Structure 1
Amino acid sequence: MKAILRLLAVLVWGLMPGTASAEDQFKLLVIATPSTYHYEYIPVARESLEKLARLHSIGLTWTSDPAVFDGDLSPYAAVLFLNTPAEQLSATQRQRFEAYMRGGGNAMVVHRAAIVPPGAWPWYERLVGRSFVNHPKIQTGVVTVADKGFPASFGLPDRWIWSDEFYVTENPHRVAVNPVLEVDEASYDPTRIWPGQVGRRMGAHHPEAWYHRHEQGRVFVTLLGHQAEMYRDERYLQHLLGGIYWTATGLGQVGAKQR
């Protein structure tokens, strides 16, 4: 009899409010579509981001299929393009994503996802805020924090050693962005590139992460994130988490009015 009572007590306790899993703060759509040079990162990044989502009560939907853009995007606080060639989206899917941003949706762009062929999708180039030129071979350099008050820089030292491709970009659409991280070109060789290509320097200000607004939404871009093992690095994951947090909520920015 006592055993039955104990069992009933456990069942009743399990049905009480507040004993279930924490409610998601917001929903995040992550699209991670493999490309020629970016596919090994997918299982590593998925494991790490899903762990972060559980830890921080984020409802994360992970997909590699652009068909997700044929559906309703409005439940998502943000869409994260993770190394995904955005030009793979069909014309209809692009229109749906553009409508999502015009309706107040938000976007985060990581590494390869910042690249679209010139003229392939000018609207998306403006969303990214910069256009890709080329990149040197993977090298170790010094990444510097340009904005200590932005969540994607929290927990990072003012100068930290990082190895990446350090994309070179230009601004043909004259989009104003707010740099979060830069790379010190004196700490590596921007001209160390493949035969037949010409390496370029950007000078004293070489942004590798930034934020701005596009249409009615927030956009955060980080060009870092080429190697699969980076998605196990605590500093890099902290950088991504800060970007996700701000992109989805607009909160956490030190000294700025929240919008």
Structure 2
Amino acid sequence: MNKFKFLLLFFFLQVGLAFSSQAQKQFKVLLVTTTKGWHHESLHAGVLALQQMGVRNNFDVVLWEDPNGFTDKYLEQFKAVIFLNTTGDIFDETQQKVLERFIQGGKGFVGIHSASDTEYEWPWYTKLVGRMFHIHPTIQTAKTKILDAKFPGLQGFADDRLWTEEWYEFGPEKTTGLNYILSVDETTYNPKVDWGRVKGEGMGKVHPVAWYHNYDGGRAFYTALGHLPTNFSEPAFLNHLYAGIFWAATGKK
């Protein structure tokens, strides 16, 4: 075999391997980080952690960067959309309808932390998330409680795990059928807070911080954890997050 033929064969082998590797990915998710309000310091750490998670678990994470690119055609390639610490009114009416059709087509949604502080005026979205952010006290350390040990990825929160977080207090359920999997023990921190225009007294004996549910033909997973940049280097949180992403993208628990 002459040198030219060898190089040509080598080139096609590399191209073939590249396409094979791409074809073997489990799934692809779209990562949305748009903020129209508070910008979390953990956003950068979260993006990097999710990209690395994709490498470790053989799925693609695509960062949404084109404001005009949120279309039905573009979303065909994805199995789930992730809202990472989004805030405020981030989608126009056309984009809202695109996400609605995406979920109605059997796809998934993952909301992280302030995804519940997003799109309050979009009733369909508030039902997708399940509950919306109301208020939070100062960042504190508290004990977590596993509510549903059958849902994967919660092992790191067993035995009253101490966790430092901006503990969200939520408003009422926006829909039925929420499956709560993780909570915070309000007896281990001070949930009371007064912002003047709004106050918080806590949520009582069961204060959920993560849940999932089937909604409008698709699936939605939400976790309130993820305020601090250091959360995204904690194996316990990353396992919890991947379990939610995997379920939202595949329907498998």
User: Into which bin does the TM-score normalised by the smaller protein fall?
Assistant: 0.7 to 0.9
Q: Output the CA distance in 2 between the equivalents of 1:84 and 1:105.
A: 20
2:78 to 73, 76, 79: 76
- Which stretch shows the higher mean deviation, 62-71 or 168-177? 62-71
Kindly state the Cα deviation for residue 193 of structure 1 after the two structures are TM-superposed: 4.7
Aligned partner of 2:26 in structure 1 is: 25
The CA RMSD over aligned residues, in Å, is 2.7
Query: Normalization by structure 1: what TM-score?
Result: 0.85
Kindly state the Cα deviation for residue 56 of structure 1 after the two structures are TM-superposed: 1.1
Q: Any idea what the Cα deviations from partners look like across 1:209-247, whole Å, max 9, x if unmatched?
A: 000011001110001111122112221111111111111
Q: Output the CA distance in 2 between the equivalents of 1:115 and 1:146.
A: 23
Q: Output the CA distance in 2 between the equivalents of 1:116 and 1:15.
A: 44
Q: Output the CA distance in 1 between the equivalents of 2:168 and 2:90.
A: 21
Structure 2, unpaired ranges of 5+: none
Letter in 1 for 2:78: Y
C-alpha contact 1:33 1:65 (8 A) present in aligned 2: no
Q: Any idea what the Cα deviations from partners look like across 1:35-79, whole Å, max 9, x if unmatched?
A: 543343232222211111111110211124543323521221111
Question: Which secondary structure state, in structure 1, belongs to the residue aligned with residue 153 of structure 2?
Answer: helix
Q: Output the CA distance in 1 between the equivalents of 2:69 and 2:149.
A: 35
Aligned partner of 1:156 in structure 2 is: 157
Question: Which secondary structure state, in structure 1, belongs to the residue aligned with residue 89 of structure 2?
Answer: helix
1:127 counterpart = 2:128 = yes
Q: Output the CA distance in 2 between the equivalents of 1:45 and 1:222.
A: 13
C-alpha contact 2:156 2:235 (8 A) present in aligned 1: no
Residue-pair matches, total: 250
Runs (4 or more) in structure 1 with deviation over 6 Å come to 7-10, 16-19
Letter in 1 for 2:62: T
Kindly state the Cα deviation for residue 11 of structure 1 after the two structures are TM-superposed: 2.5
Q: Output the CA distance in 2 between the equivalents of 1:101 and 1:67.
A: 19
Q: Output the CA distance in 2 between the equivalents of 1:9 and 1:174.
A: 59
1:11 counterpart = 2:10 = yes
C-alpha contact 2:37 2:88 (8 A) present in aligned 1: no
How much identity, in percent, do the aligned residues show? 33
Kindly state the Cα deviation for residue 85 of structure 1 after the two structures are TM-superposed: 2.5
Judged with a 3 Å threshold, the aligned counterparts in structure 2 of structure 1 residues 40 and 34 are, in CA distance, closer, same or farther, namely farther
Please list, as runs of the form range in 1=range in 2, the aligned pairs for 1:58-97 lying within 5 A after superposition: 58-72=59-73, 73-85=75-87, 87-97=89-99
